[in-house]
Chains A and B, each alone.
Chain A
Amino acid sequence: MSETVVKLSDAAIRRQILADFWFYFRQNRGAVVGMWVFLGLVVLAVFAQVIAPHDPTQQYRDALLTPPFWQEGGRIEFLLGTDAVGRDMLSRLIHGAQYSLFIGVVVVSIALVGGIFVGLLAGFFGGWVDTVIMRIMDVILAFPSLLLALVLVAVLGPGLTNAMIAIAIVYQPHFARLTRAAVMGEKEREYVTAARVAGAGTMRLMFKTILPNCLAPLIVQATLSFSSAVLDSAALGFLGMGAQPPASEWGTMLAEAREFILRAWWVVTLPGLAILISVLAINLMGDGLRDALDPKLKRS
């Protein structure tokens, strides 16, 4: 019985890679839990209009600062209580998921695309292009990210869009550095030389040949940046520089709640808890991703 070597099609190879990846990812229980929670959040965010029991901006004048339903004074129609102007906490929290996910996706997309582009240029061309680009990245990295984002927003004006742009700019150097390092590592390898000899042009070399092999660290950094973006935008919201009231962004909710910390614990605790759970879920997934994508680290 001889075994013939089966040549897999490209699609079959991709499926195999995915299956391998899933096998390793699954082994990390925390990562799987994180993934389910994250998917739950996505569902909440997408179907917020349908799921939320009330309109998040609707103020119920007769139910200011109502405690959650299990406490004395709580009402069943406001499961998690209401805030200082009578808005339902649960509905606001659910809509808050929309903000957080939106922010995460936008910030990471901008930072990723920009960072990859810049990193490819620097890594590929080397020389003075590399030096100049990396110096600029280093300068940005010298500023504590929140501070820089804060000043940027102060200059551009407070608001969600500006907050997202500011954070994305601040995260970009991380992606640029990673890409550049990966490109420099891959540039010297034989398969690149082979492609070049075969006549591949610069653009093709950059995007089709080298980039796919640098993806693993970028994906891990992307999840890290996603969770950081949620945290940083909440921080900006808390400082009054992010999404403005009456937006039901979790950080903004915390800013409004500050004066009630001793009187109404739920107005303060719940939004922060929502942030914590979301960020934790993403970080758990990120850990799992890193272990599954980096074969060196975890085996046996």
Chain B
Amino acid sequence: MIKFVFSKLMYLVPTFLGITIIAFGFVRILPGDPVLLMAGERGISPERHAELSALLGFDRPLWVQYFDFLGRLLQGDLGNSLVTNKPVMTEFLTLFPATVELGLVAILIATLIGVPVGVLAAIKRGSWFDQVSMTAALVGFSMPIFWWGLLLIIFFSGILGWTPVSGRISLMYYFPDVTGFMLIDSLLSGQKGAFASAISHLILPSVVLATIPLAVIARQTRSAMLEVLGEDYVRTARAKGMSPARVVGVHALRNAMIPVITTIGLQVGVLMAGAILTETIFSWPGIGKWMIDSISRRDYPVVQSGLLLIAGLVMVVNLLVDLTYGLINPRIRHK
């Protein structure tokens, strides 16, 4: 088990370096002078050009720039946004909790609905429930989520007027940022109706974001359960006279969950991509929207760092998934 953990950790290092190289390289592979590019159409005076070049280190050889970049990165310095002039790290930390909150709720919805549906579909294989739920899953999985979000807005916000169209909480509430999680902060603030407002703002975006992971998890759970239900040890459990509930719920599920948990973990990467679209549609002030805005504003330090941080995050989550897999798979845990 120790060897397993160690080898996974060792694997992290070269991959992380690779990520930094790509993030670093993006800005520099642009044709033409990077400083001019950043200046945009405004143009720039030669003195200002030389000043910026020296400031941003573009006049030095490439590999020096890279190590410089890497060094600063390890100290947590990601440079400043060209638009706001504030440190990228600070902006990231401010916006990050919004995305995390959205992602967590989405993954929760996806798991709490997806797993039971998958299990039931497997138990009642071939029944109408199985066919309907798996078709629904396929539809969910084939859906362009930016369109799905717009549709839900038309219906729930436009026609029914039940939910707001954008933001995290109604503008009439204001309270200090304790955790950055609106659900928690609104409760802490003690203001009447704040929590309800937070929830009503959260519900539509998280459902939209949860759609694809839910579909994938339901399908994966079903196929994992089907495979496990055909195994010899499930037959033994039945031969021992165990009740059907116990056979499925204890004997089968425990083994089926091993690949399913891996799937759930891997959905985090999917969530990040989905978050970009969801946050854009719902004007949710998280990292996804921040990246989009920065890309269109050509705020390269932000784009570069954002890429790095997001990829790094996905990498860490994948590592945790791998480690968890090692823990829950008894063949690996007990050498």
Contacts and interface: CB of A to CB of B under 8 A. Distances in A.
Contact of A227 (B22, B139, B142, B277): B142
A238 B146 contact: yes
Contact of A144 (B144, B272, B295): B272
A231 B22 CA distance: 25
A142 B15 contact: yes
A136 B19 CA distance: 9
Contact of B273 (A146, A254, A280): A146
B318 A142 contact: yes
A155 interface: yes
B158 interface: yes
Interface of chain B, main secondary structure: helix
A151 B303 contact: yes
Contacts of A145: 273
Contact of B314 (A144, A239, A268, A271): A144
A121 B95 CA distance: 42
Contacts of A151: 26, 295, 303, 307
A138 B272 contact: no
A148 B26 CA distance: 10
A26 interface: no
Interface residues of A, number: 42
A217 interface: no
Given A142-B15, A154-B303, A155-B29, A261 B142 contact: no
Nearest to A265: B154
Contacts of A148: 307
Nearest to A152: B26
Contact of A143 (B143, B148, B307): B307
Contact of A279 (B135, B142, B315): B142
A265 B155 CA distance: 10
Contacts, number: 118
B280 interface: yes
A289 interface: no
A251 interface: yes
Contacts of B142: 227, 231, 276, 279-280, 282-283
Most chain A CB within 10 A, of B135, B276, B298, is at B276
B150 A272 contact: yes
Interface string B273-307: 10011001000000000011001101000010001
Nearest to A231: B144
A135 B15 contact: yes
A44 interface: no
B146 A254 contact: yes
B144 A251 contact: yes
A282 B138 CA distance: 11
Nearest to B148: A272
10 contacts: A142-B18, A142-B311, A143-B314, A146-B276, A147-B273, A150-B292, A231-B142, A261-B154, A271-B147, A276-B139
